A and B are shown apart, each in its own frame.
Chain A
């Protein structure tokens, strides 16, 4: 048993139960889990996120340390890798776009093997890239879909996304099972599958297992908990959607209320989402913001052409030529090297 993921798993289960039990009939903590906690979580998320990003921005960028991944701009007959070794802001924007939207560096991933113990090979390794893309885009689709709970009327792009997302239902389900079930959203299933993959690689790839912290498992379990409770509500529990939307609309319009008929599973679901939001700024999840600020990626590579200024550049003690000549004048003269002052002038 791995302590790191057991602790994370237990933490998520306990968090779920706290909200589930706390919002049972009679416990009466609906206001806490339906209104107070979500508001607190949002505040923590927004303030924490902003503080983190501002903290990074306050740190100086003394040098232009671009990682150049291709041919520099040089003599006219050498073809510059304009995106991988950018000279212009536009090229940097394209580089960043491909990085953030397509996970381009991860696409380069290879797997090293020593075949026969002596011959090194590097094979293309796309599983992590695919898994990461699937996870992030599925998550994104799920988030956008949920805008339906926070908008009235529901914007057209949300409805469109729902239709595209739910398009696959016939291929996914058997006829008998489909009867009585609403359209299945691919994003939810892909999200679960991708999270499961990301979890399994942390458990089964020895190198990744070795570097994984509890902080790597916790968000995965949290997202599993969120996804499972969501899927359960949508396809099985038949929760009162009208009541839930009343609650969520109350939150966004700052007229919060807890209507009758909102089930405990929903409060647990929303509690886990709140935990995720509150946890976000204090965790590695901040790579969402940090990826924009990575100095090796978001700067041009033409440092020899355009001077970069270091805001805290300060004068340093150097060994000047005059001091050098003072140290070695006789030897230099004897060797026939030019000097500024001849030895006899010294005295």
Chain B
């Protein structure tokens, strides 16, 4: 793959942010290799019982659509206008001021005008005007309306899967128009015709059946954690023993399965295991894992609201079955959007759980009193604040760290200072990226919302450019060599982006840094960090 991929310089030199030529309605879609993801595997679509499961290829003329596909889209559109005020209002009120245009990482990285958030939405609005408004019906193209054709459908598909639902544009929109809402509705409509991408459909099917996106079956899940147990023992001399589905445990822990599967997420996973072991040994806190609810993330969110709800249901169901007091959630981006803004509404009320209290510090997590799910950064920050963790931040001294806010915790929750507080307590060298690229203005990794595939690498690198460019800035300015984040997609996506744009920078989860610094009771003198790299002063 790497040899086919366009070189960074070449990618940059291609970008022209000044659209020209024929109007956008007269520019037909060109589905280009490297920019799109493969079509959904029919088996996966079938597992969920979603419509029109069949093999198809985006590059072929015939997409094997149902006969009445236009009617399906029209009816689906109407239904969603009634069900979602956001959708209806956002179809109507955009004034096309253009403030959103250069806020999108995909527009910045590709220069493709249809990646301007406003135009991405216009792709749907043009059909909305044609089908549902008087002015559009009378004025036609002059009124910005156009009929739904196969070309339009293909254009939808291509560009709705070039949006990562990061919501950066919605911060700048004077009406708060949220392109994520547009993309979510558009993808729902596409799913009515079976037009999902495989990088979403297959994880969803896996998650439905095995409990996690990667399709890891229960015994294999335990095997993988056992493997980390061995690594942890080698590095720290401590034998950890993570409990599984322990009835009556205090807390159920759920994190994205990506962290048990691939580096560098695995180190974050080891970090969780060490932290929980520490809390058990010192304070008797029992935190259990589950293989049934072994996925924090929710690619159903990238499919439809209904699919999101189907996958998410396992969290509360498992917490109820095990009789825990509350749920602790690991580091993940869109997982926290779902938990923060959807879960309680969809699958609550969680009246069988207790309002979360940290039994070690007595702190009430009042902001989670209804959802009953606490973010690991909130939890760790509370432990640190009360001096409940013995830490040696100097063990992270060879890491010069910057922090990447993940889109969803930033703009769909507001988790900004908690991870920074943790970071500042476990590492001595922390530098912020420029203000316009962090916190609520953070840039997406470029691969969110299910676009983290291999075949669309050019798109991902283009979309990852703004984030990487800000990292490059602090790398050159302060010698930053480590990019910390609280998102499993980031940990999967950013290493590729860093390798492409800023090869000297590595990616880490926050809890990995916590565990490096955490002085375990009875540990041997550590010589390496969780990655097996020598600690500062142990390089010999």
Is the Cβ of B218 less than 8 Å from the Cβ of A331?
A: yes
Indicate if A197 sits at the interface (CB-CB under 8 A).
no
Is the Cβ of B143 less than 8 Å from the Cβ of A308?
A: no
CA A321 – CA B310 in complex, angstroms?
Answer: 13
Binds A, one of B69-77, B94-102, B449-457, B481-489: B94-102
Is the Cβ of A338 less than 8 Å from the Cβ of B244?
A: yes
Indicate if B52 sits at the interface (CB-CB under 8 A).
no
Indicate if A69 sits at the interface (CB-CB under 8 A).
yes
Interface residues of A in 199-254 (CB under 8 A from B): 201, 205-216
Is the Cβ of A305 less than 8 Å from the Cβ of B348?
A: no
Given known contacts A63-B342, A282-B135, A206 and B18 CB-to-CB distance under 8 angstroms: yes
Is the Cβ of A207 less than 8 Å from the Cβ of B172?
A: no
Indicate if B385 sits at the interface (CB-CB under 8 A).
yes
Binds B, one of A33-41, A116-124, A163-171, A265-273: A116-124
Chain B residue numbers with a CB within 8 Å of A208 are 96-98, 101
CA A63 – CA B185 in complex, angstroms?
Answer: 14
Is the Cβ of A64 less than 8 Å from the Cβ of B292?
A: no
| A contact face: mostly helix, strand, loop, or mixed | loop
Contact of B83 among A62, A64, A282, A286 (CB under 8 A): A62
Binds A, one of B31-39, B154-162, B263-271, B409-417: B409-417
Is the Cβ of B321 less than 8 Å from the Cβ of A321?
A: yes
Chain A residue numbers with a CB within 8 Å of B418 are 74-75, 78
Is the Cβ of B83 less than 8 Å from the Cβ of A60?
A: yes
Chain A residue numbers with a CB within 8 Å of B210 are 328
Indicate if B390 sits at the interface (CB-CB under 8 A).
no
Is the Cβ of A210 less than 8 Å from the Cβ of B24?
A: yes
Min CB distance A95 to B, Å, is 10
Indicate if B314 sits at the interface (CB-CB under 8 A).
yes
Contact of A294 among B172, B175, B469 (CB under 8 A): B175
CA A117 – CA B419 in complex, angstroms?
Answer: 33
Is the Cβ of B368 less than 8 Å from the Cβ of A304?
A: yes
Closest to A208 in B: B98
Given known contacts A66-B341, A122-B436, A291-B93, A306 and B88 CB-to-CB distance under 8 angstroms: no
CA A120 – CA B443 in complex, angstroms?
Answer: 12
Min CB distance B307 to A, Å, is 8
CA A61 – CA B470 in complex, angstroms?
Answer: 36
Contact of B92 among A111, A118, A286, A334 (CB under 8 A): A286
Is the Cβ of B370 less than 8 Å from the Cβ of A321?
A: no
Is the Cβ of B167 less than 8 Å from the Cβ of A67?
A: yes
Chain A residue numbers with a CB within 8 Å of B24 are 210-211
Min CB distance B191 to A, Å, is 14
CA A4 – CA B445 in complex, angstroms?
Answer: 37
Closest to B90 in A: A294
Indicate if A179 sits at the interface (CB-CB under 8 A).
no
Chain A residue numbers with a CB within 8 Å of B466 are 120
How many Cβ-Cβ contacts under 8 Å join chain A to chain B? 323
Chain A residue numbers with a CB within 8 Å of B292 are 321, 324-325
| Residue with the greatest number of chain A CB neighbours at <10 A, chosen from B83, B92, B413, B466 | B92
Chain B residue numbers with a CB within 8 Å of A73 are 366-367, 414
Indicate if A23 sits at the interface (CB-CB under 8 A).
no
- Interface size, A (range): 35 or more
Is the Cβ of B89 less than 8 Å from the Cβ of A290?
A: yes
Interface residues of B in 334-353 (CB under 8 A from A): 339-342, 344-346, 348-349
Is the Cβ of B142 less than 8 Å from the Cβ of A214?
A: yes
Is the Cβ of B92 less than 8 Å from the Cβ of A290?
A: yes
Binds B, one of A147-155, A186-194, A256-264, A312-320: A312-320
Min CB distance B209 to A, Å, is 6
Chain B residue numbers with a CB within 8 Å of A67 are 167, 170-171, 176, 178, 411-412
Closest to B173 in A: A105
CA A109 – CA B99 in complex, angstroms?
Answer: 7
Chain B residue numbers with a CB within 8 Å of A119 are 469, 473
Given known contacts A282-B133, A307-B349, A337-B291, A294 and B122 CB-to-CB distance under 8 angstroms: no
Given known contacts A63-B345, A69-B171, A211-B116, A118 and B82 CB-to-CB distance under 8 angstroms: no
Contact of B174 among A77, A99, A307 (CB under 8 A): A99
Interface residues of B in 122-180 (CB under 8 A from A): 122, 133-135, 139, 142-144, 167, 170-178
Is the Cβ of B412 less than 8 Å from the Cβ of A68?
A: yes
Indicate if A88 sits at the interface (CB-CB under 8 A).
no
Chain B residue numbers with a CB within 8 Å of A317 are 49, 310
Chain A residue numbers with a CB within 8 Å of B371 are 303-305, 307
Is the Cβ of A310 less than 8 Å from the Cβ of B345?
A: yes
Chain B residue numbers with a CB within 8 Å of A304 are 339-340, 344, 367-371, 373
Chain A residue numbers with a CB within 8 Å of B116 are 207, 210-211
Chain A residue numbers with a CB within 8 Å of B217 are 328, 331
Chain B residue numbers with a CB within 8 Å of A338 are 244-247
Is the Cβ of A68 less than 8 Å from the Cβ of B174?
A: no
Binds B, one of A12-20, A50-58, A137-145: A50-58
CA A214 – CA B139 in complex, angstroms?
Answer: 10
Indicate if A293 sits at the interface (CB-CB under 8 A).
yes
| Residue with the greatest number of chain B CB neighbours at <10 A, chosen from A201, A282, A294 | A294
Is the Cβ of A56 less than 8 Å from the Cβ of B88?
A: yes
Chain A residue numbers with a CB within 8 Å of B96 are 208, 211-213, 216, 284
| Residue with the greatest number of chain A CB neighbours at <10 A, chosen from B118, B122, B208, B367 | B367
Closest to A332 in B: B218
Indicate if A112 sits at the interface (CB-CB under 8 A).
yes
CA A291 – CA B175 in complex, angstroms?
Answer: 5
| Residue with the greatest number of chain A CB neighbours at <10 A, chosen from B23, B89, B177, B417 | B89
Given known contacts A67-B411, A291-B175, A309 and B345 CB-to-CB distance under 8 angstroms: yes
Indicate if B461 sits at the interface (CB-CB under 8 A).
no
Contact of B219 among A117, A214, A325, A328 (CB under 8 A): A328
Interface residues of B in 423-448 (CB under 8 A from A): 434, 436-437, 439-441
Interface residues of A in 67-126 (CB under 8 A from B): 67-75, 77-79, 81, 84-85, 99, 103, 105-106, 108-112, 114, 117-120, 122
Is the Cβ of A74 less than 8 Å from the Cβ of B143?
A: no
Is the Cβ of B102 less than 8 Å from the Cβ of A112?
A: yes
Indicate if A159 sits at the interface (CB-CB under 8 A).
no
Chain B residue numbers with a CB within 8 Å of A59 are 81-85, 87-89
Is the Cβ of B85 less than 8 Å from the Cβ of A318?
A: no
Min CB distance B476 to A, Å, is 10
Q: List 20 contacting pairs A-B, 8 Å CB cutoff, sorted by A.
A: A56-B89, A59-B89, A60-B84, A65-B412, A66-B412, A70-B439, A132-B174, A201-B98, A207-B19, A207-B116, A208-B97, A210-B119, A284-B94, A293-B85, A294-B175, A295-B85, A296-B181, A304-B344, A305-B369, A328-B219
Q: Which 4 pairs from chain A and chain B are nearest by CB?
A: A72-B414, A290-B93, A335-B219, A206-B18
Q: Which A residues fall within an 8 A CB radius of B? A: 7, 52, 55-75, 77-79, 81, 84-85, 99, 103, 105-106, 108-112, 114, 117-120, 122, 128, 132, 201, 205-216, 282-284, 286-287, 289-291, 293-297, 301-310, 312-313, 316-321, 324-325, 327-328, 331-332, 334-338
